[in-house]
Structure 1
Amino acid sequence: MLVADVQPFEEMKLRLLNGAHTTLAWLGQLLGYQTVADCMADKELRALIRHLMLAEQAATLRPLEGIDLAAYADELLKRFENTRLRHRLDQIASDSSQKMPQRLFAPIAINLEAKREWSVSALAVAAWIKGLGSLPPVPDPRQDELRRAALCNDPVAAVLSLPSLVPDALRPLAEFQAAISVAFERLQGGAKATVTTTAKELRR
C-alpha cells in the first residue's frame, strides 16, 4: 500500500502484531512453550491474545480507511499458528525493555485515560516481570538491573520504578502499578491457572 502517512499503519503493526508477540514471549515461556505456534495450540491463550489485539490494542488506534482490524487480527493469528516458522519465544523476548514502551505501555496509557479495561495487557507486563526473575536471561541492554529489580521483595514496584522505562504519563498513576501487581500475584499461583481464570472472566 502507498499511503500519505505511514505512522498509523506502523502503530497498528507495533500494537497488534508486536504487542501480541511480546505478550506471547513472556507468558508463553511461563507456560512452558518454546514457539509462537506452540502458544497458538493453547485455546485459552489464543483467546487472550485475540482479546488483547481487538479489545485493548485496536481501541487505541486511529481509524484507518479500508482496514478491517478484526480481519487483520485473524490473519495474524493464522500466521502465528504456522508450525514451520519456529519463531522462538526467547528470541522475541530479547531487548524487551526497549520494546515495552511502544508495544504495551503506550496503549495501556491510552486505555487508562479512556477508562477502558486492559487486563491482558496487565498480565503481559506482569509476565515480563515474573519472567525476568524466574526464566533464563535473554539479551537486553538493561538485563542486569532488570533482573536485580525482579528479584526484590516487591518486583513490580522495583521494575516499574527503574529510570527511563515507564513513560511519564503512566509512572504517577497508582492504578497502573496496582493492576500489574494484581496480575503478578495471580501468576504466583501458576501461569496456566492465571490464563484459565482470565479467559473465563473475559467470556462473562
Structure 2
Amino acid sequence: MPLSLATFSTANAIKPAYDPASLEIGVVHFGPGAFHRAHQAAYFDALVATDKRWGICGVSLHSTGVRDALAPQDGLYTLGILDDEISYRIIGAVREVLVAPEDIEAVFRRLRQPSVKIVTSTVTEKGYCLASDFSLNLKHAEIAHDLAHPRTPKTVIGYVTEALRRRRAAGFPPFILIPCDNLPKNGERLKAAVVTFASQLDVKLSRWISDELLCPSTMVDSITPATDDDLRRRVAAATTLEDAWPVQREAFSQWVIESHAHQDGPDWTSVGVTLTDNVPAYERAKLRLLNGPHSALAYLGLNRGYANVSEAMNDAELADVIRRLMIEDIVPLLEAPDGLDLIAYSEDILKRFHNPAIVHKLSQIAWDGSIKLPIRILSSLGEALDQGRDISRLCLPLAAWMRFVRTKAVAGEEITDPLGRELFAIGQICQDDVTDVALFLAIRSIFPAHLANHPSVVSQIETAYIALEGYTRRR
C-alpha cells in the first residue's frame, strides 16, 4: 500500500510520536530537496513531538517533483538511516509543499502569517545569486528580474524581501531567516543580500530589515546520497509501504546555529542542535575537513574510475592521500572550536567516508566545482601559501578537477556547473598537456590572480595534471 496518513501506522518503521494532521505550520523552507528532508526536517520532526508549532511548508522555486511525490502521501515520507544497522523512520513534519511558479500568492500568504516564525533554505550556494566577493550580484538575470517585478519573484532573495515588506505593512515582526547551505558566514551574507536588494526598491524597508531581521549563520552536516529506485525498493521491502520519494543519510547529523535571541522559539538544544557564538570555527572545520576532501575525493576518484565515495576509499593509496591532506595540510590551518578535537574529528570523517552503507556518487559531489572549489580548497591553499607550507596535495584536487572538465568535454557530456558552457568550451580546446592548466587558471571567478599567477601554484598544478593523465587507462 502507498504511504499515507491512513496507512503509516502499519509501517515497519519508527513512526511519528504525534498526529501529523494536528501540526501548525511555523516554518517555511525554500528548497525541500533530499538534504532538507533528511536533515532539518528530521530535527523539526523531533521538535513537534512536544511542540506542534513547527510543522513545515516546503517551497520549491522550480520543480514540481517533491510536491507531486508527497501530496498523495499526505506529506509523509521515509528517512533511511544508513549505519552498521539500517533503520527507517517516517517523517511527518512536512505538512505542505508549494511550487512557487504555480501560485506565487499562496507562497506569500504563507510567509505573511504571524504563525510562521522561521524561514530556512537549502537552495545551494548558487541559489543566493552572489558575486565572487559574496555580495549580491545585481547583474544576475534572475535578480534583475526580481527588481523589475518584485511582486512576482524567482529567487529566494526576492521572495524573502517581498514577504518582509508585506509583514512590515501588516504590522507583523519579521520571521527569523536561517540559511542552511555550505556558504561561509551564510547568515551574514544572506542578510546583507536581502538588505541590498531591498535598498534598490525601498530605503525605509531596507533599514527596517537591517535593524529587525535576525539571520544567524549555521553549519549543517550529514552525508545524504541521492534517492534512486534501489532505495525505493529497499524502503518498500523493509517498511511494507510504498514511498514515492524516500530519502537517506548516514547516522551522523550536525546542525550548528549561531546563538540568537528568539522569543518563544524552538527548544533547539532539546533535539541536538548546537547553539554557539563561534559558528565560523565549526563552519571552517566542516567546509575544509569534510567538504574539501569530499571534493578532492570526487575528482581524484573519478579520475581513477571509481563511482562512489566508499569504493574510492577502498583504494589504499587514494585514502592515504585524503587522510594526509586532512591531517597534515588542513588541520594546521584551522582554529578548533571549544570541545572539538580536529584530529579526532578528521578521523571520524574518514570513517564516515568508508561507510559501505552510504552509496554517495562521486559524480554528484563533482557538480558545481566552480563554486565549491574556491570555498573548499582554494581558501586552504591561500593560507598554506601565506604560511610557507607545502601545497602539493592541495593542488591535486584542482588538477583532478581540470582533468574532470576535459574528460567530460571530450566525451561531449554536459558539465553540471554555473559555468558549464564556458568550462565545456575550455575542455574541448585542451591539448592534454601543461598548456591546459593556464586555460583554467585564467578563469578569475574561480582563481584569483594572486593564486593563478603564483609560480608554486602553477608548477604544482601542472605537475599533478601531467601525473593524473591517463591514470584510469593504466589501472
Question: Normalising to structure 1: TM-score of the pair?
Answer: 0.88
Q: Please give the per-residue CA displacement for 1:45-72, whole angstroms capped at 9, x wherever unaligned.
A: 1111111111111122124332211111
| 1:115 is the counterpart of 2:388 | yes
In the TM superposition, 1:19-38 aligns within 5 A as 19-38=292-311
Conserved? CA contact 1:11–1:61, under 8 Å? yes
Q: State how far apart, in whole Å, the 2-side matches of 1:47 and 1:162 are.
A: 31
Q: Confirm or deny: 8 A CA contact 2:396 2:464 kept in the other structure.
A: yes
Residue 91 of structure 1: aligned partner: 364
Which residue of structure 1 lines up, in the alignment, with residue 398 of structure 2? 125
Does residue 18 (structure 1) correspond to residue 296 (structure 2)? The answer is no
Deviation at 1:168, TM superposition (A): 4.1
CA contact (8 A) 1:26 1:128 kept: yes
Aligned equivalent of 1:200: none
The residue type equivalent to 1:139 in the other structure is T
Q: In structure 2, what residue type is equivalent to 1:142?
A: L
Conservation of the 8 A alpha-carbon contact between 2:406 and 2:430: no
Given that 1:101 and 1:167 are in contact with CA atoms closer than 8 Å, whether structure 2 keeps it comes out as: no
Distance 1:174 1:143 in 2: 27
The question of whether the paired residues in 1 share the 8 Å contact of 2:278 and 2:337 is answered with: no
Question: Which residue of structure 1 aligns with residue 461 of structure 2?
Answer: 180
Residue 185 (structure 1) shift? 1.1
- Distance across 2 between alignment mates of 1:35 and 1:89: 5
User: CA 1:180–1:53 in structure 2 vs 1: closer, same or farther (change >3 Å)?
Assistant: same
- Equivalences for residues 131-142 of structure 1 within 5 A: 131-135=404-408, 136-142=413-419
When structure 1 is superposed on structure 2, of 116-125 and 130-139 the one drifting more is 130-139
Q: Is the 8 A contact 1:36 1:81 kept in 2?
A: yes
The runs of 5 or more residues in structure 2 that have no matched partner are 1-273
Higher relative contact order (CA 8 A, sep 6+): 1
Query: Residues of 1 paired with 2:473 and 2:350: CA distance?
Result: 20
Q: Compare the two structures and name the one with the higher strand fraction.
A: 2
Which residue, out of 422, 427, 430, partners 1:152?
A: 430
Provide the rounded CA distance (Å) in 1 between the counterparts of 2:325 and 2:351.
Answer: 16
Q: What is the alpha-carbon distance in structure 2 between the residues aligned to residue 138 and residue 25 of structure 1?
A: 14
Offset at residue 189 of structure 1 (A) = 5.2
1:38 CA displacement:
0.4
Q: Which of structures 1 and 2 has the bigger CA Rg?
A: 2
- How far apart, CA to CA, are the structure 2 residues paired with 1:182 and 1:5? 38
Q: C-alpha separation between the residues in 2 aligned to 1:86 and 1:112?
A: 35
In structure 1, what is the equivalent of residue 342 of structure 2? 69
| Preserved CA contact (<8 Å) 2:374 2:446 | yes
Cα deviation for residue 125 of structure 1 reads: 0.5
Q: 1:163 aligns with which of 416, 428, 444?
A: 444
Distance 2:387 2:441 in 1: 22
Deviation at 1:44, TM superposition (A): 1.1
* Cα distance in 2 between the residues matched to 1:187 and 1:124: 10
Per-residue deviation, residues 62-87 of structure 1 (Å, max 9, x unmatched): 24332211111111111111122110
Contact 2:415 2:421 in 1 (8 A): no
Contact 1:90 1:138 in 2 (8 A): no
Matched to 1:65, the amino acid is D
- Classify the secondary structure of the residue corresponding to 2:452: coil
> Could you tell me how far apart the structure 1 residues matched to 2:315 and 2:473 are?
10
Following superposition, the deviation at residue 114 of structure 1 comes to 0.8
Cα 1:167–1:59 change in 2 (3 A) is farther
SS of aligned partner of 1:2:
strand
Taking only aligned residues, the RMSD between alpha carbons, in angstroms, comes to 1.9
CA distance, structure 1, for counterparts of residue 285 and residue 457 of structure 2: 23
**Which residue of structure 2 aligns with residue 57 of structure 1?**
330
Match 1:2 to one of 261, 275, 283: 275
Shift of 1:147: 2.5
Figure out how many residues of one structure are paired with residues of the other and give that number.
194
TM-score of the aligned structures, taking structure 2 as reference length: 0.39
* Alpha-carbon distance between aligned partners in 2 of 1:14 and 1:168, rounded to the nearest angstrom: 23
Moved more, 144-153 or 178-187: 144-153
SS in 2 for 1:170: helix
Distance 1:69 1:192, change over 3 A: farther
